[in-house]
């Protein structure tokens, strides 16, 4: 498989998505989702990144980030995935969850668990219209998947922040939509 070149240092927002291992529906419930949100917040603070929009679906996530300084966003995404996976897997182990059997992998002769798929998809948003399009895509994802009737009904989305609604899961650094 060819190595994909990631374009950093363009001073553009990036739309990013990645999936749970084998696209299993693992992202369900506060105790599983909050460690991911915490790690996204930690990365925002540590690397000076604006979070413009997001949605957390049962088997994948989408978010739009804008790094305010030069950084290797691919490495940062890897860090978010690694740190959140470790925290979530500890929760599953503490609960003795049967999901752990589904997440079993053999890595260099050692049995481990994988929470996320190894790769991610990212897109450089070269215009404000593209940023808006990607954020709106995030917001409509649960509706298109048939999980809710309207975007404001999905708790795990920046839509609620943009609409000024209560019960915001993740504060964002929004833009005018």
Q: Which residue has the tokens 């990607």?
A: 134
Domain CATH for 141: 3.30.70.1290
Q: pLDDT truncated to tens, each residue of the chain (177 aa)?
A: 444 444 455 578 999 999 999 999 999 999 999 999 999 999 999 999 999 999 999 999 999 999 988 888 889 999 999 999 999 999 999 999 999 999 998 888 888 899 999 989 999 999 999 999 999 999 999 999 999 999 999 999 999 999 998 889 999 998 876
Q: For residue 86, is it within any domain?
A: yes
Measured distance CA(1)–CA(54) in Å, rounded: 29
Whole-Å CA distances, 78 to 18, 30, 84, 162 = 11, 22, 10, 27
> How much is the pLDDT for 176?
72
Q: Per the domain annotation, does 176 fall within a domain? A: no
155, part of any domain: yes
In a domain, 8, yes or no: no
- Structural domain that includes position 133: 13-162
* pTM greater than 0.85: yes
pLDDT of res. 10:
55
On whether residue 133 sits in a domain, the answer given is yes
Number of domains in the chain: 1
pLDDT at 6: 47
**How crowded is residue 97: how many other Cβ atoms within 10 Å of its Cβ?**
15
Q: Which residue has the tokens 């995935």?
A: 81
């Amino acid at each position: 498989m060819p190595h994909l070149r990631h374009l950093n240092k363009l001073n553009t927002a990036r739309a990013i998505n990645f999936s749970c291992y084998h696209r299993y529906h693992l992202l369900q419930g506060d105790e599983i989702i909050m460690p991911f949100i915490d790690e996204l917040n930690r990365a925002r603070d540590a690397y000076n990144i604006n979070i413009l929009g997001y949605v957390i679906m049962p088997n994948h996530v989408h978010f739009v980030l804008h790094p305010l300084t030069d950084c290797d966003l691919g490495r940062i995404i890897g860090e978010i995935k690694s740190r959140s996976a470790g925290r979530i897997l500890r929760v599953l182990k503490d609960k003795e969850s049967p999901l752990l059997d589904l997440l079993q992998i053999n890595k260099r002769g050692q049995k481990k668990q994988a929470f996320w798929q190894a790769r991610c998809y990212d897109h450089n948003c070269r215009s404000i219209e593209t940023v808006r399009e990607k954020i709106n895509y995030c917001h409509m994802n649960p509706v298109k998947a048939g999980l809710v009737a309207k975007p404001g009904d999905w708790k795990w989305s920046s839509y609620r922040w943009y609409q000024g609604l209560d019960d915001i899961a993740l504060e964002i650094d929004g833009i005018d939509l």
